[in-house]
Structure 1
Amino acid sequence: MSGGITHVLTDIEGTTTAIAFVHRSLFPYAASALEEFLARHGGEAEVAAVLAEVPGEDKLAQLRAWMAADAKVTPLKALQGLIWREGYEAGALKGHLWPDVPAALRGWRARGLHLAIYSSGSEEAQRLLVRHSEAGDLEPIFDGFFDTRLGMKREAASYAAIARAWGAAPENILFLSDVAEELDAAREAGLATCQLVRAEDGTKASGRHPEAADFQEVTALLPA
């Protein structure tokens, strides 16, 4: 695998970041701030454009329903990203990264590898997490941030679209995720894959992909 890898595409939740951070910190923060945020910013162009994509007359009720279902829908993810932006900029939130992640990412970049993120969270949310991470601002080391606007994460076409947008051959991209079905789709599109099996998150190995317990183990799969 290692000889041809020039690009590393990584998931966030369960891969670079604890699932608990997303579900116990980010999601509750957005849910508690939703009504006040809409009251203050609902008339602004950026927020109004997102709300225009929410179906029905009772936008708040639809957003609450999506939140309760953890729906992977672009308008909800975009709005959550805007709410989190306020939280990060106010210092109320700091982006969690597993301790092995920052050093590995910096090391891969120093070796000339290209890095990008693909998450169901919005591009805005991705940028905020790495910009305001506990390890400092990591945003500059990434080439790109891909979200569900390119397609859903369990569809092979999404990974083909990312390769085209990134200007890379699929076989030169290594995709890192804890979710086997996402890795299945990436492999179908021609990408190399590795499942992160973090004991702290209770991830179960699928047996269908190379595995790593952390990013230090991923390094062994990459070119020296």
Structure 2
Amino acid sequence: MIKAIVTDIEGTTSSISFVKEVLFPYAAREFPAFLAAHWDEPAIREQVMAAAQESGLQLNDPVSASALFQQWIAEDRKATPLKTLQGMIWKHGYQNGDYTAHLYPDTAAALRQWKAQGLDLYVYSSGSIAAQKLFFGFSDDGDLTALFSGYFDTTSGHKQETRSYHNIQQAIGLPATRLLFLSDVEAELDAAADAGYHTIRLDREGSQGESKHTVVSAFNEIELPK
């Protein structure tokens, strides 16, 4: 019996377009001013130094750092320093009421139902844990953070690597056979299945083609594996 559900965000609980058309452009637009205003803060310097190490570049000022992060945004890089700083910038946007996080209409009701059934809920996304908490804290359906028992990001490993799912399983403390992973990306589901998870693919638009995994178009179509 499934004891916990681990869900992706983009394309699964929420539209990819919200991230690509709202969040990414907002962060890209705000990066120069944000880095200039907070350049000497330890939390910012830590991420800039990590980005310098990952890129092999000298990032000695806000301008050069901003240029690299802008490039990474354009490339859709899953780099942890970028995701961490984006989360900091998005926090301002959420708190300022510039936007709320998009959820598919079936998402919140399904999450609440699973929680009421005694299932533990977790998030695994390439966005930072801080960004995930903001996303569900300022969603179209209000603050949903109380529904979740934990969050995982690229510090647990990349989403298409089996080792990442072993790391998450160990952190949750349940056998992999008691875990269900939800995603819209076949390679992520393959990695989770290789780690022993049950898997279901969300095909929200009905256009992703065949899959070796169970496929549904909405959360309310999900039948939990026995």
- Correspondence for 2:201: 195
Indicate whether 1:221 and 2:218 are aligned: no
Moved runs in structure 1, 4+ residues, more than 6 A?
none
**Aligned position for 2:189:** 183
The change in CA–CA distance for 1:107 and 1:9 in structure 2 (over 3 A counts) is: same
TM-score by length of 1: 0.94
Report the AA paired with residue 184 of structure 2. Answer: D
**What corresponds to 2:177 in structure 1?**
171
Task: Structure 1: give runs of 5+ residues left out of the alignment.
Answer: none
**1:78 matched to which residue of 2?**
84
- The residue number in structure 1 matching 2:18 is 21
In the alignment, the residues of structure 2 paired with residue 178 and residue 206 of structure 1 have an alpha-carbon distance, to the nearest angstrom, of: 12
Look up the equivalent residue of 2:4 and give its one-letter code.
Answer: H
Give the letter for the 1:140 counterpart. A
CA distance in structure 1 between the partners assigned to 2:103 and 2:219 by the alignment = 11
Question: Alignment RMSD, CA only?
Answer: 1.1
Matched, 1:103 2:106: no
Q: Aligned pairs, how many?
A: 217
In the TM superposition, residue 222 of structure 1 has moved relative to its aligned partner by 5.3
Aligned residue number for residue 150 of structure 1: 156
Q: Distance in 2 between matches of 1:74 and 1:39?
A: 20
The separation in 1 between residues aligned to 2:38 and 2:207, in whole angstroms, is: 38
Q: TM-score with structure 2 length normalisation?
A: 0.93
One-letter amino acid matched to 1:149? T
Q: What percent identity do the matched residue pairs reach? A: 45
SS in 2 for 1:120: coil
Q: Does 1:212 align with 2:216?
A: yes
1:67 is aligned to 2:59:
no
Partners of 2:164 and 2:14 in 1: CA distance: 22
